Amino acid sequence: MHIGPIPLANRLFVAPMAGVTDRPFRQLCKALGAGYAVSEMVTSRKDLWDSLKTSRRANHEGEPGPIAVQIAGTEAQMMAEAAIYNVERGAQIIDINMGCPAKKVCNKWAGSALMQNEALAVEIAAAVVQACEPLGVPVTLKMRTGWCQQHRNAVQLARQFESVGIQMLTVHGRTREQRYQGQAEYDTIAAVKASVRVPVVANGDITSPEKARDVLAATGADAIMIGRAAQGRPWIFREIGHFLATGEHLAPPLVAEVRRLLLDHLNDHYSLHGEQTGVRSARKHIAWYLRALPGGEDFRQRINTIDDAAAQWQAVADHLDALGAQMDRLPAAHGQDTDTQEQERLVA
């Protein structure tokens, strides 16, 4: 599979998630079988480009390509300038955010709110494509099925986005009104796939190898994108890849491997975010890894009281050492069920 001229390793993608898909998380998912990962969204506002938050989000040091950066905003010219800014800093693919359901984004008419204004949405897509085309950088776009149940316009928009040069479309199988509630539906994604020639990626509620297989079959999509199910379970990509290739399940990871992965992840996380911010923001990752394991809830409460990076790292190491004395491997179902409200609370 390709995005424009850029080849991808496979058709298993990491979804951009604010506060989650920083460079350490993207690198980890890629190392564990993801063929492509998109950064958490970067604002198109120039006055925020030099902020610490934006600089961390735009950090791609040592990350294997292709480097994909998602941008968000409401003005075509600003979005075009943001695209160029990020290309100059290493982006090889630009992704436009028209899928984020967060109130703080939609209240400014960015993210999925743009689907209510089709003319503006297409104007933004066209402006970003025109800015990136001379640089040889393909532009992709992520959206939802529509704003609400009565206004599902993904198919109409998909055709228009393709006509102005968007080279891949990702569709989350929910409206903005649904946020992450209820069940994702895939009929709209299938309809988008049938209406355009560019690659289409299916997103939403893909939590197991079987579900990945079924969604690919139901939608005809070229790839799948996984978000919340990879939180605390980055090995889901190799599990799905193995199942799609062989029809067989991999054994759950060894506790010793999870210990190594999580501790390395924490070191990378502290390195990027610094100790003060890193310790706080690492808490959600630790909770996701351990939530379904014995003692996970008690340990989460304890880890939330630790403010020192070395102490946090050591507490995790000790906890997993103790767990390893009880079991060799994680339980087979670990991480397959997601609690939406808990996910949103931790990401917020």
Distance from C-alpha of 276 to C-alpha of 273, rounded to nearest angstrom:
8
Please give, one letter per residue, the 3-state secondary structure of 251-294: CCCEHHHHHHHHHHHHHHHHHHHCHHHHHHHHHHHHHHHHCCCC
- The CB density around residue 282, as the number of other CB atoms within 10 Å, is 23
Catalytically annotated residue among 29, 100, 106, 132 = 100
**What DSSP letter does each residue of 202-249 carry, written as one string?**
EES---SHHHHHHHHHHH--SEEEE-GGGTT-TTHHHHHHHHHHHS-P
DSSP 113: G
* Catalytic residue status for 106: no
DSSP 39: P
Q: Compute CA distances 211 → 36, 175, 208, 225, 300, whole Å.
A: 19, 20, 5, 12, 29
Residues facing residue 148 across a β-bridge: 151
* Coil, helix or strand at residue 334: coil
Catalytic residues: 100
